[in-house]
């Protein structure tokens, strides 16, 4: 069965996966529709939550010619959504709406405790009866699959079969990403990964982590280096993929050497004609 989630496909194949954050608006989605990213995270934590605009952005991310030539229903890049609520807020409805629109995964900011991680996974799963296979964490997602199934290009029953979290469900196409953004999260990360199956990826939240450490946005400060290394070590010990959110041409080799397999790089726009013209006319 062909994978629909290109990020999961890369990771379970032993490869690295590449993604970026993007504003949830159709114009931005169009820019990314022909990119080589495996995934795109629509950013709704620090951007306004607008489900209608998110729905349109998901549609504009689809490139029919590209899908046809690939011979698969898988969108490229695969859309995820970072929801607005921090882990302690135990939010579920943002995740439910994003998944019901067709998102292939949820990025949960500020996960610091086991119960927050369990809620993150449960919100992305449909309920299962106790005693059935892969019951825990017990799902709490409400049932409204029609729009998501249409977006995925499958029938409702096939959507049900595949709309579970990976790797807890080996054939699941939904990726649960938790962000570790404070010292409490680092302290509790081993217990989260021990006690909560279904966490597909851990993403370091460097901005908030650096704020807590008193070195805002000083990403190479020794305290940040130590904190990142600890997160990577914990994830490797538990066999969980860890992601780096600020990959550049200057640090990508270092990021790879440090063991990250999910690499997020910001898209860079250039205007070579403008730059050359300003240089030749003495305005640079």
The predicted-structure confidence for 167-203, as pLDDT tens digits, reads as follows 999 999 999 999 999 999 999 999 999 999 999 999 9
Mean pLDDT for all residues in the chain: 95
Q: Decide if 2 contacts 74 (C-beta within 8 A).
A: yes
Instruction: Using pLDDT thresholds of 50, 70 and 90, give the confidence band for residue 129.
Output: confident
Report whether pLDDT(76) > 90.
no
The predicted-structure confidence for 259-272, as pLDDT tens digits, reads as follows 999 999 998 888 89
- Structure confidence at residue 177 (pLDDT): 98
Whole-number Å distance between alpha carbons of 144 and 182: 35
- Structure confidence at residue 209 (pLDDT): 97
Q: Which residue has the tokens 């910001």?
A: 266
Report whether pLDDT(283) > 90.
no
Report whether pLDDT(62) > 80.
yes
Pairing, β 165-166 against β 174-180:
parallel
Report whether pLDDT(60) > 80.
yes
**122-147 mean pLDDT:** 92
Q: Decide if 77 contacts 66 (C-beta within 8 A).
A: no
Instruction: Using pLDDT thresholds of 50, 70 and 90, give the confidence band for residue 160.
Output: very high
Strand partners, 108: 178
The predicted-structure confidence for 94-114, as pLDDT tens digits, reads as follows 999 999 999 999 999 999 999
| Short-list 123, 62, 70, CA closest to 96 | 123
Residue 9 tokens read as: 């496909």
Instruction: Using pLDDT thresholds of 50, 70 and 90, give the confidence band for residue 134.
Output: confident
Whole-number Å distance between alpha carbons of 176 and 196: 11
**154-178 mean pLDDT:** 97
- Structure confidence at residue 135 (pLDDT): 84
Pairing, β 17-22 against β 105-108:
unpaired
Looking at the domain that runs over 6-280, which CATH code has it been given?
3.20.20.60
Q: Which residue has the higher pLDDT, 274 or 145?
A: 145
What residue segments make up the domains of the chain, in order of their start?
A: 6-280
The predicted-structure confidence for 23-59, as pLDDT tens digits, reads as follows 999 999 999 999 999 999 999 999 999 999 999 999 9
Cα angle for residues 246, 83, 117 (degrees, 5° grid) = 85
- Structure confidence at residue 133 (pLDDT): 79
């Amino acid at each position: 069965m062909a994978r629909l989630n290109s990020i999961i496909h890369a990771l379970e194949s032993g490869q690295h996966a590449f993604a970026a954050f993007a504003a949830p608006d159709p114009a931005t989605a169009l820019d990314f529709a022909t990119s080589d990213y495996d995934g795109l995270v629509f950013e709704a934590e620090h951007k306004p939550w607008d489900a209608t605009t998110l729905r349109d952005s998901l549609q504009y991310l689809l490139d029919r010619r590209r899908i046809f030539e690939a011979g698969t229903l898988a969108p490229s890049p695969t859309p995820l959504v970072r929801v607005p609520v921090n882990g302690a807020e135990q939010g579920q409805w943002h995740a439910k709406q994003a998944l019901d629109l067709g998102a292939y995964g949820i990025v949960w900011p500020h996960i610091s405790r086991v119960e927050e991680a369990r809620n993150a996974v449960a919100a992305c799963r449909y309920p299962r009866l106790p005693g059935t296979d892969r019951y825990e964490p017990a799902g709490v997602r409400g049932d409204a699959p029609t729009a998501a199934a249409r977006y995925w290009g499958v029938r409702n029953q096939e959507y049900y079969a595949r709309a579970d979290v990976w790797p807890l469900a080996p054939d699941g196409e939904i990726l649960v990403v938790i962000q570790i953004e404070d010292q409490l999260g680092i302290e509790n990360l081993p217990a989260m990964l021990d006690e909560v199956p279904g966490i597909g990826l851990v993403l370091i939240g460097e901005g908030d982590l650096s704020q807590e450490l008193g070195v805002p946005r000083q990403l190479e400060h020794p305290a940040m280096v130590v904190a990142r290394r600890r997160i990577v070590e914990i994830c490797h010990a538990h066999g969980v993929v860890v992601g780096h959110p600020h990959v550049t041409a200057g640090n990508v080799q270092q990021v790879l050497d440090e063991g990250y397999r999910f690499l997020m790089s910001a898209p860079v726009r250039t205007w070579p004609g403008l730059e050359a013209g300003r240089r030749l006319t003495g305005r640079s």
